[in-house]
Structure 1
Amino acid sequence: MKNFMIDQHLKELTEHRTLELPVACYETTINQNINGYIPLHWHDEIQFVLILKGEAVFQINEEKIAVQEGDGLFINSGFLHMAEEKDRSGCTYICLNVSPRFVLAQELYTSYVQPYIHSTNLPYLILDANEQWAKNILKALKEINQLVKQKTSLFEIDITIQLTLMWKNLVVNGFQLEYDQSEMIKSHRMKQMLNWIHLHYAEKMTLEDIAKAGNLSRSECCRYFRRMLNKTPLRYVMDYRIQKSLLLLQQPETNVTEAAYQVGFNSTSYFINKFKQAMNMTPFSYKKIRMKK
């Protein structure tokens, strides 16, 4: 089981680079994450995904996108996203994260990279293997995955060649870029509210507290969460507390009551009830299973 590390701002803590390059490429199986899915997060790096097995549902901001085996996805820098497997398909995918400033030579960054990562209407692109431009990107992604594994002579140069090919094919697709200030503000406010929750989840909190963090009314705050996460703010708090309890329950010295109070529940029985609803087992059963591994 893997723990997907993010900070209180929802920014992923994984350092996306090899020893030599600001690039990370790896294969991941969604259900092996400690939560059973990839939780909501964001990062400065751009991301390319290729589904090797099964099917995944990615959420980028408020949109959900199903991606089938053989197809892929481009996720832009700075956008909130999460992923779960569809229909218990055992989804495995190649994930490539790369610093935008490494995609092309520095002299080309302003003209050919910056406009794309700052666009507000380009949170993602579906990479349909039936489209030639997307097929070229997916082929290069597989090549980079092999280069990172094998580390043959001059593999770093070969990676940069493949990245150039990928970006050229994305640009050739001819996507029309837009820059909407209101969308930038919405994204910033959502990150502010999530950040506040992640800093204070162990404390007593109200809807008004969360709304204030985003400089919104309570009703607007609810609309943001409904649109982005299809749940109320306080339901998100509940789910987040249960996510945080999973790590505590894997520690031999922490019992269920201690875990409950450390993540913000003021009643062990209430924690057990909500944990069972979320995880389809009691926290006692979860702890017993994890201690055997």
Structure 2
Amino acid sequence: MQKIEFIIDQHLKEMTEHRTDTLSIACYETTIVQNVHRHIPLHWHDELQFVAVLQGTALFHINDQKMILSKGDGIFINSGIMHMAEDHGVSENCIYLCLNLSPHVIMPSDLYIKYVHPYVTATNLPFLYIERANAWGEQILDAVARIRKELVHQVPFYEVNVASAVLNMWKLLIINGYSLEHDPSEMSRNNRMKDMLQWINLNYADPIKLEDIAKAGQLSRSETCRYFKQILKTTPMQYVIEYRIQRSIELLQLSELSITQIAYEVGFNSTSYYINQFRKTMNSTPLRFRRELNKREKEHNSLNYCS
């Protein structure tokens, strides 16, 4: 299963239901540049995520940190953590396996409180880099690949095999991971950031000022700029522009609106300014991008028809 796009709500929460018919687990093979946005946009989800890179190099943005993942290595991303991914380098497209699972499927409920909940809620464990060079890291990354095969082929008792592999992965992670911390100030910072992003996502089509964003996070203007610089490596107003462009991509793909209509629909008050900003972000004009989307859609439908 190739995952090329997903729905993100106004809170930046991914709405995909990550599960099979019987398990709250899903594993996707993801080629970053095949996503409709040409990168994996900023989002978060309740599920835990394990990534194993199969080809190329990816740059993950996780809260206020960046992590470069090369072929063979991977990463664990905790529940509720904001993250995005993009290709890193020009030699080849990055492909990775992405395993998403509900924390509650790891262990029975009587063990969940002791062995899962403290790690899911820890403020010092937003992610954990998984190196194949480490024996425990190699075992976790190999387990992701085995789970992928089990979910694809679904031979008899595959659910038991998946559950066993997940349990062993988690044991390896918590034995080799960090000591746990629960910092109320860090939790507050993350919640303020989510509040500001949620406000932008609800009001992006209207005129927006820095004061509006700061008010949503109950911060001063300077503190708001500092939050965005530290966590997203951009300014609040630049994030607004980039978010408007990402929303315009959905309209380019799913509607027959003109470029001018789309520009005003997502909050730009000038078609030329929209086209200019789109070109800077996507290295293409909106019209050319729409034509490429339509071409890819026709090719995809043609392949499905032939098969």
Tell me which residue corresponds to 1:231.
234
Is contact 1:58-1:84 (8 Å) kept?
yes
SS of equivalent residue, structure 1 residue 27: strand
Q: Specify which of 13, 21, 34 is matched with residue 15 of structure 2.
A: 13
1:105 aligns with 2:95: no
4+ runs deviating over 2 angstroms: 1-4, 287-293
Question: Aligned runs of 1:171-190 on 2, under 5 Å?
Answer: 171-190=174-193
1:174 and 1:37 mapped to 2: Cα distance?
Answer: 28
Question: Structure 1-normalised TM-score?
Answer: 0.97
Tell me which residue corresponds to 1:70.
72
Is contact 2:32-2:95 (8 Å) kept?
yes
Quote how far apart the aligned CAs of 1:208 are.
0.4
Paired residues in the alignment total: 293
Q: Specify which of 47, 59, 66 is matched with residue 57 of structure 1.
A: 59
Is contact 2:24-2:105 (8 Å) kept?
yes
Tell me which residue corresponds to 1:155.
158
1:212 and 1:78 mapped to 2: Cα distance?
Answer: 23
Q: Specify which of 39, 42, 66 is matched with residue 41 of structure 2.
A: 39
1:66 and 1:155 mapped to 2: Cα distance?
Answer: 33
1:281 and 1:174 mapped to 2: Cα distance?
Answer: 42
Unaligned 5+ segments in structure 2 are: 297-307
* Amino acid aligned to 1:49: V
Question: Structure 2-normalised TM-score?
Answer: 0.93
Of 81-90 and 192-201, deviating more is 81-90
Tell me which residue corresponds to 1:91.
94
Tell me which residue corresponds to 1:282.
285
SS of equivalent residue, structure 1 residue 24: strand
Percent identity, aligned pairs only?
Answer: 51
Is contact 2:106-2:167 (8 Å) kept?
yes
RMSD: 1.2
1:12 and 1:111 mapped to 2: Cα distance?
Answer: 27
SS of equivalent residue, structure 1 residue 153: coil
Quote how far apart the aligned CAs of 1:3 are.
2.5
Quote how far apart the aligned CAs of 1:174 are.
4.9
